Amino acid sequence: MRNRLFFYLLIMALVTVVVEKAVSGEENRPSAQTVIARSDAVRNPDRPFRLDLRLTEYVNGSERNEVILRVYSKIDRTSGQFKNLVSYMEPPRDMGKAVLMNGTTMWFYDPASKSSVRISPQQRLVGQASEGDVITVNLAKDYSAKLVGPHDGEALNDADRKPRKCWHVELTPDNDGAIYGRVEYWVEKETDRPVKGKFYSDSGRLLKIAYYHKYQEQLGVYRPSEIILIDAVNTKLVTTINSSGHHAMEIPDSWYQREFLPHLKVE
Amino acid sequence: MRKWVLLVLFLFFLESHQLWAQEAGDENSDLNLIPKSIETANKEPSRVEHTQMSGRSYLEDALTGWLNRVLLVPVPTKSPNWQNRTSLDFDFSWQLGEKVRLSLSNRLNALEGDTITFPSGENLRNDFREGFLSWEVFPRTYLEAGRINLKNGIALGYNPTDFFKSRTTVNIASIDPSALREDRLGSIMVKGQRIFSNGAVTLAFSPRVESQSPLLITQHASFNPLFGQTNSDNRFLASLSYNIVDLNPQALVFIDNVGTHIGANISRVMSPSIVAYAEWSGVRKASLTKRAVTFGQNTGSLPQGAPLLPQTDDGKNFQNDLALGASWTSSFNLTINLEYHFHQAGFGAADFNNWVSLGSVTPRLASEFWFIRQYAADQQEPLMQHEIFLRFDWQDIIPSKLNVGGVMFISPYDGSVLTQASAQYFISRNWTVGLYLGGVLGSASTVQGSFPWSASGVLQIVRYL
């Protein structure tokens, strides 16, 4: 009799714990798409803006190269995705080079030859200008999101090794504008701040690991002022991206034309 | 009692298991990939000084050597074995007012070599590439005047719609057309441009300011701005580009002393890693030979009544020019461009055979025959009707340190190849070393094998200022 009572209590306890966890998790759980949209809003201002990026490349822990870019970003009203104009300011050999990224319309301008070359989405990932795109990409527009992991979130250390309670979201492309085959993303539950991202190729190869940290107020919202980007193919290669100089400004649509690239003067 | 203890332990395990499941233990191991030097570094956000001036300048030294070969059609001038060029390159623009900019682009060269007398006036040459004022009359409506390097076209090996390309070459440091374009002269012109949210309209007029100057066959060192090359004729260009169905088409009309040229170019992203492009132009004009001999006679380089190399079609017909190509980029930063070039006014197989057979047995004709090739190079048009172009560009083989590349011009007539491989090593923020190695594959009777040299090498050192 005591054995049977013990057995019933055990089953009831098990069911209670599981149901309680499932129900409480579902009640407070936002949709995955909402999580990503909110985290996009943390990274990206809701109006046209300009910012400067300092990219510092480390190889085996030693600083090896530094690039400074100026990015002019504006949301395309049709696609909901950012259009970016990226201009090189440093090093001197790259001064004046510019990349236009407007959906699948992408051009690279070289002031030395005074010519523009059309580039593919894959080609935009070559070189440092792509990092400007990593920063402003609106993931919610190009990817379908799905919450994975435990119902009430996942504990994850941020780049400063502080524990954060995060939503773990898996993103898969839902249009041709998506440049990654899959993305894993961790967003802090309390603040909607992105903490970490893992970016995969179409073939499933892990390409980049990004850590978002050093949150500072920029254009009215706390945004990551530093992103640590680990090259997952060559893990000895790590790049930090420091952003500054956020400046809301009117950017005419005509700037996002290849003919405008020679007129883009960075001062 | 023991069972109740077990129940409590079980519940504790269940709860702790849930907690454990929430930990991303494996994910946190990625933090170990972040070097300590980054964790301790306190990078200041980018601070960019705002000035009224933008651009770049650099000091460059390029030492070039050639291995010459015995030719079937001898060249009329001595081919160099080596040459050294030291250049101060300057390309800046200044904001003079809210709407007005001044742009200047210039290269000063010091030259030495086995075919250049030292010391002499040939040791210095100045290339005044650009100097113009740009006025933004209305937002995104520009009026520009001065010497302007106006370039059109989207292909890499040959640009049929780059109508201002002829006679703009001042220094052939590389056979890579994209490197050639880096030191090209602008033309004096007035240019108006309106950029819309979905396209652009450009109008340009380039006046005649000097009479036509002869070809710079040998190294002519001087401070001559060479307006006799770039502005010996009145020319007019109109172009319209409009973004439609992701093709980015551009239509062009160009009028010069040859006739009215029409042209178009389109490009499209075919897949995430492939871009296809096409560039076409057409005009009623004479054959390459006819135009070259007429030019030579008009500039006194060839005697009046010089015999014409027999070219199949000697009349003035509608001639097409086409560059059809695609680029493919790999996931490891390698980009390959493959292009087919069609130049209807150029040599066919029979014309080239005549060039070789007549030029090799009639030394008197050899100099005229080479003049035709030099004229084609000066006009930046292919010698032959058909050509295959292959280019590869592999960036960041050593991340941020080493890029390599190469170009190949392949003759489909005989399989001969003119090729050049290049490597650029970025020593530091300001120093770059470049190495270019060229070679010719094919016998002396082939299209590419008939060049005066069989191999070449350039060692280049650049200090950005």
When pLDDT is averaged across residues A192-214 and rounded to a whole number, the result is 92
CB contact under 8 A, A265 and B248: no
- Indicate whether A110 belongs to any domain: yes
pLDDT band at A150 (very low <50, low <70, confident <90, very high): confident
Is it the case that residue B52 has pLDDT exceeding 90? no
- Indicate whether B172 belongs to any domain: yes
When pLDDT is averaged across residues B228-234 and rounded to a whole number, the result is 94
pLDDT band at A174 (very low <50, low <70, confident <90, very high): confident
Please name the member of B27, B33, B241 whose beta carbon is closest to the beta carbon of A230.
Answer: B33
Cα gap A194→A209, rounded to integer Å:
13
Q: How far is Cα of residue A135 from the mean position of the Cα atoms in its chain? A: 5
- Indicate whether B278 belongs to any domain: yes
pLDDT tens per residue, range A19-36 = 555 544 555 678 999 999
What is the complex's ipTM, to 2 decimals? 0.88
Would you call B96 an interface residue with chain A, using a CB distance cutoff of 8 Å? no
CB contact under 8 A, B56 and A96: yes
CATH code for the domain of A148: 2.50.20.10
Would you call B168 an interface residue with chain A, using a CB distance cutoff of 8 Å? no
Size of interface A-B (CB pairs under 8 A): 252
For residue B109, the distance in angstroms to the closest alpha carbon of chain A comes to 17
Question: Structurally, how many domains does chain B consist of?
Answer: 1
When pLDDT is averaged across residues B357-367 and rounded to a whole number, the result is 83
pLDDT band at A166 (very low <50, low <70, confident <90, very high): very high
Residues in chain B closer than 8 A to A63 (CB atoms): 37, 41
Please name the member of A6, A127, A149 whose beta carbon is closest to the beta carbon of B7.
Answer: A6
> Which of A117-131, A164-178, B340-354, B445-459 shows the lowest per-residue confidence on average (mean pLDDT)?
A117-131
CB contact under 8 A, A62 and B396: no
Residues in chain A closer than 8 A to B429 (CB atoms): 65-66, 90-92
Is it the case that residue B313 has pLDDT exceeding 80? no
What is the average pLDDT value for chain B, to the nearest integer? 87
CB contact under 8 A, B195 and A230: no
Closest-CA residue of chain B to A104? B269
SS3 A248: strand
Give which of A15, A89, A156, A208 to mutate to test B binding, by max B Cβ within 10 Å.
A156
pLDDT tens per residue, range A241-264 = 999 988 999 999 999 999 999 998
Closest-CA residue of chain B to A154? B22
CA angle (A157, A158, A160) in 5-degree steps:
110
Is it the case that residue B77 has pLDDT exceeding 50? yes
Please name the member of A126, A155, A186 whose beta carbon is closest to the beta carbon of B329.
Answer: A126
Please name the member of A70, A117, A156 whose beta carbon is closest to the beta carbon of B27.
Answer: A156
Please name the member of A9, A117, A259 whose beta carbon is closest to the beta carbon of B241.
Answer: A259
- Indicate whether A241 belongs to any domain: yes
> Which of A226-235, B363-372, B456-465 shows the lowest per-residue confidence on average (mean pLDDT)?
B363-372
Residue B215: the pLDDT is 85
Would you call B47 an interface residue with chain A, using a CB distance cutoff of 8 Å? yes
Q: ω before A224 within 30° of 0 (cis)?
A: no
Cα gap B146→B188, rounded to integer Å:
5
- Indicate whether B31 belongs to any domain: no
Question: Structurally, how many domains does chain A consist of?
Answer: 1
> Which of A54-58, A105-109, B77-81, B195-199 shows the lowest per-residue confidence on average (mean pLDDT)?
B77-81
**pLDDT above 70: percentage of residues in chain A:** 84
SS3 B437: strand
- Indicate whether B58 belongs to any domain: yes
DSSP H helical ranges for chain A: 2-27, 32-43, 121-124, 129-136, 139-142
Residues in chain A closer than 8 A to B266 (CB atoms): none
When pLDDT is averaged across residues B57-66 and rounded to a whole number, the result is 93
Is it the case that residue B99 has pLDDT exceeding 50? yes
- Indicate whether A92 belongs to any domain: yes
Q: What is the DSSP string of B212-277?
A: PPPP--S---S----HHHHSSS-EEEEEEEE--TT---EEEEEE-SS-EEEEEEEEEEEETTEEEE
Closest-CA residue of chain A to B182? A113
Would you call A14 an interface residue with chain B, using a CB distance cutoff of 8 Å? yes
Would you call A77 an interface residue with chain B, using a CB distance cutoff of 8 Å? no
Radius of gyration of chain B from Cα atoms?
A: 28
Helix axes B288-298, B363-379, angle to 10 degrees: 100
- Indicate whether B159 belongs to any domain: yes
CB contact under 8 A, A150 and B56: no
When pLDDT is averaged across residues A106-119 and rounded to a whole number, the result is 91
Residues in chain B closer than 8 A to A60 (CB atoms): 35
pLDDT tens per residue, range B102-127 = 999 999 999 899 988 888 888 898 99
pLDDT tens per residue, range B144-182 = 999 999 999 999 999 999 999 999 887 544 454 445 667
Residues in chain B closer than 8 A to A155 (CB atoms): 22-24
CB contact under 8 A, B248 and A267: no
- Quote the longest CA-to-CA distance of chain B: 122
Residue B13: the pLDDT is 46
Q: Check if the beta carbon of residue A223 is closer than 8 Å to that of residue A53.
A: no
Is it the case that residue A18 has pLDDT exceeding 80? no
Residue A230 structural domain: 32-263
- Indicate whether B354 belongs to any domain: yes
pLDDT tens per residue, range A130-145 = 665 566 778 888 899 9
CB contact under 8 A, A254 and B267: no
Residue B179 structural domain: 53-464
Residues in chain B closer than 8 A to A3 (CB atoms): 3
For residue B117, the distance in angstroms to the closest alpha carbon of chain A comes to 31
- What phi and psi values does residue B238 have, to the nearest 5 degrees? -130, 135
Chain A, 142 to 171: residues with Cβ < 8 Å from chain B are 149-150, 152-157, 159, 161, 166, 168
Is it the case that residue B269 has pLDDT exceeding 70? yes
When pLDDT is averaged across residues B34-46 and rounded to a whole number, the result is 73
Is it the case that residue B135 has pLDDT exceeding 80? yes
Residues in chain A closer than 8 A to B31 (CB atoms): 157, 159, 161, 211
Burial, B40: exposed, middle or buried (Cβ in 10 Å; 0-12, 13-18, 19+)?
exposed
Cα gap A88→A101, rounded to integer Å:
14
- Indicate whether A249 belongs to any domain: yes
- Indicate whether A18 belongs to any domain: no
- Indicate whether A9 belongs to any domain: no
When pLDDT is averaged across residues B328-346 and rounded to a whole number, the result is 93
Residue B368: the pLDDT is 84
CATH code for the domain of B200: 2.40.160.10
Name the β-bridge partners of A229: A210, A239
**pLDDT above 90: percentage of residues in chain B:** 59
Residue B420: the pLDDT is 93
CB contact under 8 A, B140 and A225: no
Please name the member of B28, B50, B151 whose beta carbon is closest to the beta carbon of A115.
Answer: B151
pLDDT tens per residue, range B370-383 = 889 989 989 999 99
- What phi and psi values does residue B185 have, to the nearest 5 degrees? -80, 145
B79: Cβ contacts below 8 Å, ≥ 6 apart: B66, B68, B115, B452, B453
Q: Check if the beta carbon of residue B353 is closer than 8 Å to that of residue B446.
A: no
- Indicate whether A19 belongs to any domain: no
